[in-house]
Amino acid sequence: MGAAFTLHQTDAESGARLGRLHTLHGEVPTPIFMPVGTQGTVKGLLPWQLEAAGTKILLGNTYHLNLRPGSEQIAALGGLHGFMGWAGPILTDSGGFQVFSLAKLRKIEREGIRFRSHIDGREVLLSPARVVEIQANLGSDIAMVLDECPPAAADRSVCGEAVERSLRWAAGAREEAQRTGFLAGGHHLFGIVQGGRFPELRKACAKRLVEMDFPGYAIGGVSVGEPEEEMLPQVAACTETLPGNKPRYVMGVGTPPQLLRMIALGADMFDCVMPTREARHGIAYTATGKLNLKNQRFRDDARPLEESFTDHPLGRFSRAYIRHLIVSREILGAVILSYHNVRFFLDLMKHARRHIAAGTFKDWSSEWISRYRHEQPGTT
């Protein structure tokens, strides 16, 4: 298989890029948002609902799927695509984020990360070679190298050690992907830039990863507790250093305004659990901000989630009805909001692509963010 990415256009007034990912399971337009299916499912949504919402690529998680049901079992059942009934592209994280999120259950060693399973307590070692093997079993279109994700407050020495360890593991993962034919078979492996809140570390990490010539690059270790004013410079330090002919994936972000700002910095791919997680708590994303449908103000509100929903599949449901489902703890309420929120994020990417193509992204995104940030009804 050829290159992972084709860059079609760069916005003249910003760094926003229009491109296309090439994978074994189809083409993906960028910028793109990936709904998160950690355990082999995007919570509350069936595959055809994801398709109807405009999903082009999903994210799964190596750490969790390896623990349960196990990557070998998934391989025997048709790989992750066949197992979960999803025919489109899948990207899988390597487990590096669990270094941060499961800090009490892991030990970082030279050869990898040793976890104590949160399910049954058994010991599991994720090494650079093992994460490639697991993702090969899953049949991932895009696999990630093993990396160490330090917390936001980590000092420079800790972040520097994490960078060196991540670079060593990245080289090991790339070697394994070449040795086993994973790359030759058309799968892609992305390196991950670390460095915490230190731009010089991020730039140095990015340069050394570029020398390894990965099919694509991810920006890790953002949105791990730092404020937005620190997050965006971290992303900028990476996109300024990474090659223009390779895809750039910002891991684990973000809010709609953050996504648009990162697109303007030259980022191409994003994922985040917020659309479905917030849906389960009664939150709906709209063009003017978030609605907290648990709020009493929506008890008799006959309007749809968005006033423009004249021919939208969710236009038949009133805010009052969805609120009733949420406060009654009916599953359908979370399903409706999950579908709505995922579609909202994907529609935002579609509009961004259209405006990049038209050369109007800078003005459109600025107006969009201003409207979203200053009009947020029903958030209390």
| DSSP notation for 12-47 | TTS--EEEEEEETTEEEEESEEEEB-TTSS-TT--H
| DSSP notation for 236-250 | HHHHTTS-TTS-EEE
Instruction: Output the six-digit token pair for 311.
Output: 């021919």
Report the half-sphere exposure of 346 (CA within 13 A, side-chain side). 22
- Give the span between the Cα atoms of 100 and 154, in whole angstroms: 11
CA-closest candidate to residue 208, choices 182, 179, 184, 174 = 174
CA-closest candidate to residue 11, choices 354, 344, 250, 345 = 354
Instruction: Output the six-digit token pair for 183.
Output: 């790359």
Task: Exactly one of 11, 93, 141, 147 is catalytic; name it.
Answer: 93
Task: Exactly one of 11, 141, 147, 271 is catalytic; name it.
Answer: 271
- Reduce the DSSP state of residue 310 to 3 states and report it: coil
CA-closest candidate to residue 51, choices 40, 38, 35 = 35
Tokens 């090969």 belong to: 136
The answer to whether the beta carbons of residues 152 and 116 sit under 8 Å apart is: no
Rg (alpha carbons) of the chain, rounded to whole number = 20
Q: Is 301 a catalytic residue?
A: no
Q: At what angle do helices 256-264 and 228-239 cross, to 10 degrees?
A: 30
The answer to whether the beta carbons of residues 373 and 257 sit under 8 Å apart is: yes
- Give the span between the Cα atoms of 380 and 372, in whole angstroms: 16
Helices (H), 54-109: 62-67, 71-76, 79-84, 98-101
Strand order, beta sheet including 269-272:
32-35, 269-272, 248-250, 216-219, 188-193, 142-144, 90-93, 58-61
Q: Is 271 a catalytic residue?
A: yes
Hey, which residues are catalytic here?
Answer: 93, 271
